[in-house]
Amino acid sequence: MRFAAIAALLLTLSIPAEAAIDPRYTAAGVSIDGMICVDAATGAVLSEDKADFPGHPASVTKLMTTLLVLEDIKANQLTMRSRVTATKAAANTGGSQVWLAAGESFTIEEMLYALMLQSANDVAVALAIDRGGDVPTFVARMNRRAAELGMTRTTFVTPNGLTYGRGPHDTTTARDLAKLAVALCRFPELLKFTSTKQYMFRRPGKPFELLNHNHLLNSFPGCDGLKTGWTVAAHASIVTTAKDKDVRVIAIVLGCQCPAGAKPEQRLRDSLAADLMSHGLDKLKKLEAEKSLRQAQAPAFAPARKLPVKAKKEEGFWDWLVDLFSF
């Protein structure tokens, strides 16, 4: 009965523009660690609620791993065609995976598809070892980059967000994740991966179809990323983005918890993120329209006329003499 009541609540409630949690959510036992919606171009906040409250990002952590790989490509340290060989440590990773075998290799491009669609924990470890030499070194690099981005309340302990029990867990806030997402959206090639709904991860004799975990790609117009996350310890989170004409927003829902279980809280997470993006896009379009109207109504001022300058009269001898005896 309680599950039915919560399910009905999920269908009828939406988040208001100021992003405050409706009291009926909390009355039903629903909680959110934090959420925010920002302008992808500037990072300007469009709405927020508990945006600085700490939570655990789960697989959303993989966005930082992805950012470092993309930055290495930009720095010409590797290419999309560079190959990464899986180690035994990567092959032994649990959770969501593509079942890498020690010694087999895939291109960076193939691994990014596996990371973004399948949320492959083993791929995240393989990339971390390839880019850092070992996982702890790569995680230290993740934390340095987070500090550079101003993610002051973020601490990473894994390259994939897979933690158990009492932790330690990767920790962040909705506002910090927004800063990470803004940096990622400066790499248009990322959206090729995050917007793909299915991809055939090819290995000799064992093709594996990857399906994107972000269901908003199907239900929200203009949505083309970025990453979902869920674990028992972290509950449901999402960093998502959508574009409408010339404006793009990023929405984050962190730590959505629902007593009805994992699937309902994932659906609620998606619903909240969709509402955030919808309100954010409306606000940005309104601001753009007001800006265009002000520009259209601005009076056109003619350039100021320059007054003719009288030619300076050359001084003669008598003028000089008069000036000399003038007191």
| pLDDT, tens digit, 9 for 90 and up, residues 284-321 | 999 888 887 787 787 665 555 665 555 555 555 455 44
Query: Which residue blocks in 75-203 are alpha helix, DSSP H?
Result: 88-91, 108-117, 121-132, 135-148, 174-184, 190-194
Quick check: 248 pLDDT over 50? yes
Q: Which residues of 8-31 are buried (b: 16+ CB within 10 A; e: fewer)?
A: ebbeebebeeebebeeebeebebe
Query: Residue 185: which of 246, 262, 250 has the closest Cα?
Result: 250
**Residue 91 amino acid letter:** A
Catalytic residue from among 47, 59, 96, 237: 59
Q: Is 263 a catalytic residue?
A: no
Q: Which residue has the tokens 């908003």?
A: 216
Q: Is 62 a catalytic residue?
A: yes
pLDDT at 30: 84
pLDDT digits (tens, 9 = 90+) for 95-133: 999 999 999 999 999 999 999 999 999 999 999 999 999
Rg of the chain (C-alpha set): 28
pLDDT at 5: 47
For the chain, what are the domain ranges?
Answer: 2-287
Percent of the chain past pLDDT 70, that is, above it, reads 82
Q: How far apart are the first and last CA of the chain?
A: 108
Rounded CA-CA distance 286/315 in Å is 66
Q: Is 59 a catalytic residue?
A: yes
Architecture of the CATH domain 2-287: 3-Layer(aba) Sandwich (3.40)
Counting Cβ atoms within 10 Å, is residue 312 exposed (0-12), middle (13-18) or buried (19+)? exposed
Catalytic residue from among 62, 179, 227, 243: 62
Catalytic residue from among 96, 119, 237, 271: 119
In this prediction the pTM is 0.84
